[in-house]
Structure 1
Amino acid sequence: MNMNKKNAEFLMLTVALAWGCSYLMMKVGLDIISPFNLIALRFGIAFVCLALIFLPRFRELTSVALGKGILMGVLIFLIFACLSIGVDKTAASTAAFLASTTVIIVPILECCLKRILPNKSIVFSVLLVIVGLYLLTVKDTITLDEGAVYCLFTALFYAIYIIILDRIAKKENTLLISIIQLGVDSLLGVLFMLCFETPTLPQTTVQWGAILGLGIFCSAYGFLIQPIAQRYTSSERIGLIFSLEPLFAAIISFIFLHEILDIKGYIGATLIFSGVVYSQLKNKNKKDIATTDIRSKDIAT
């Protein structure tokens, strides 16, 4: 396949669709399987698939890449442990919208690391998301339900993952790091499952289909395609494409799980989605302006 920006963005769209479907599959899997058990199976399947396909590439593995893969695997485990528990305790569509707030959290954390104040577009986006969170998740009292809290921790851990990956994976083989992190995630899932849960296997064809879909399509395919596609398009475009994930999740959950939000919930989901997209569009525009200014200076000199 001749990879270019258009092809890369189409592949990322399929990843966003896969991850949108993952909320439905997790709901199905969690009907009988506990969260850590689900993580062990899902990422174990993904690791075995990719390890077998790319086995010869492991000759290129270095101790540095191994260490980075282990670190990223721990973060991935935290992300999906919180997400699995969150999806188990709240609606799949709600979980997807809450998890999408990662896009807002990343620039906030970057501002904290660089010790600078966030710009107006980020502040406005955060306000939209906060109001949206209130409308989507707060019921009779001003408290978030337990599932919503876990989903917000998912967004926080994923934001940390994105920032660290951006800093440590530039000079290493991202393919091997991606495969190793899946194995580490599965191993941690097994350890926590043995400590806190009773190991269980899927009991029906539908449940096996959900687990295999999570392992092969959502995890192995998603984590393989993302680092490849990101070489050919900008992080801003990737962020915009991923902002479609909660919409896919909401549509699929409506069709298959018959999840329906009340009017307040739909308004909240719309505000969260608007805040996510607005932050990405403003960031992209600023990058485009900066690039134009640099080119203008080059021409002038």
Structure 2
Amino acid sequence: MLRKERIFLFLVLLLAVIRGSSYIFIKNIIDSQSPFEIIFFRFFLTGIILLIFYIKEFKSLNYYDLIFGLLAGIFLFSAFAFQTYGLKYTTVSKQSFLTSLYIVIIPLLDFIFFKNKIKKNVIALFVLILVGLLFISFKDFKNFEFSLNFGDILTILCALGFALNILLFSKIKKFNINIINITIIQMLAIGILAFIFQIIFEKKVINFSMSFSLIYLILICTMLNFTIQNISQKYVPAHIIMFLLILWG
């Protein structure tokens, strides 16, 4: 393994810890700020900060950067919208587990759209996750009472969004792209979508108030997290990234 690959492998492990902490900080502010407000602040401000630091690089933005950035923004926006809303109706531990379903969704999508065979270890992992899902979803084993609430269903849709985002980045290496430019477009697109959805569905404007939890989500869980993750996919295979990230959901 090359030195650069080892470095990014370690960084992805660090991201697993960061991603796990995000559930707690979202839960801290979900009652005081709407889901779309949280998403707007996290991603739009991240996009602005990255744009300020990489303004010279951004001037080289090309067609592929723009298209892939917008697609990545739509996929990740859907993931975080479903995740943040889902957390209002389910527990942190249950959402963390259900989000990890993307690890089996990715190879399934890869098979459906790109005809890549599903490996045996992925099938075994799918069975294990399915068993885990049954255990956390049964309310009464004696009477065979199964329960998936509204928040759980939203979280499964969230896992699909994360899977599409990771799969996209694993397929764009052959194009003439700039990962930083794609990340900036992705972050800004998510922020703009959140702003629009906030006005349409929440029927109110963004409340511009900051807290420690929100600042942590912006700087650590969003800017640091997704910049490193997007760059890492140039050096670390997608299946290794998803196995490492699943450690902390």
TM-score (norm 2): 0.88
- What does residue 201 of structure 1 align with? 207
**In the TM superposition, what is the alpha-carbon distance from 1:238 to its structure 2 partner?**
2.0
1: CA distance, partners of 2:74 / 2:173: 15
- What does residue 271 of structure 1 align with? none
Q: Secondary structure at the match of 2:211?
A: helix
Is contact 1:46–1:220 with CA below 8 Å preserved after alignment? yes
- What does residue 224 of structure 1 align with? 227
2:185 matches 1:176 = no
Question: Aligned in 2, Cα 1:223/1:186: closer, same or farther, shift over 3 Å?
Answer: same
1:167 to 155, 167, 171: 171
- The within-5 A match list for 1:30-109 is 30-109=30-109
Is contact 2:65–2:178 with CA below 8 Å preserved after alignment? yes
Is contact 1:32–1:202 with CA below 8 Å preserved after alignment? no
- Residues 185-204 of structure 1 deviation map (CA, whole Å, 9 limit, x = unaligned): 0000000001111345376x
Is contact 2:78–2:161 with CA below 8 Å preserved after alignment? yes
2:191 to 154, 169, 186: 186
Identity fraction in percent: 28
- Residues 119-147 of structure 1 deviation map (CA, whole Å, 9 limit, x = unaligned): 54333322221121111133243231111
Q: Secondary structure at the match of 1:244?
A: helix
Q: Which runs of 5+ in 2 are unaligned?
A: none
- What does residue 159 of structure 2 align with? 155
2: CA distance, partners of 1:122 / 1:212: 36
- Residues 67-115 of structure 1 deviation map (CA, whole Å, 9 limit, x = unaligned): 2211211111101100101122111121111111111111112222245
Q: CA RMSD in A?
A: 2.2
Is contact 2:166–2:238 with CA below 8 Å preserved after alignment? no
1: CA distance, partners of 2:245 / 2:122: 18
2: CA distance, partners of 1:16 / 1:117: 27
Greater share of residues in helix: 1
**In the TM superposition, what is the alpha-carbon distance from 1:118 to its structure 2 partner?**
4.0
- What does residue 235 of structure 1 align with? 238
**In the TM superposition, what is the alpha-carbon distance from 1:160 to its structure 2 partner?**
1.9
Question: Aligned in 2, Cα 1:161/1:236: closer, same or farther, shift over 3 Å?
Answer: closer
1: CA distance, partners of 2:234 / 2:112: 27
> In structure 2, what residue type is equivalent to 1:149?
I
2:218 matches 1:212 = no
- The within-5 A match list for 1:6-45 is 6-45=6-45
2: CA distance, partners of 1:80 / 1:72: 12
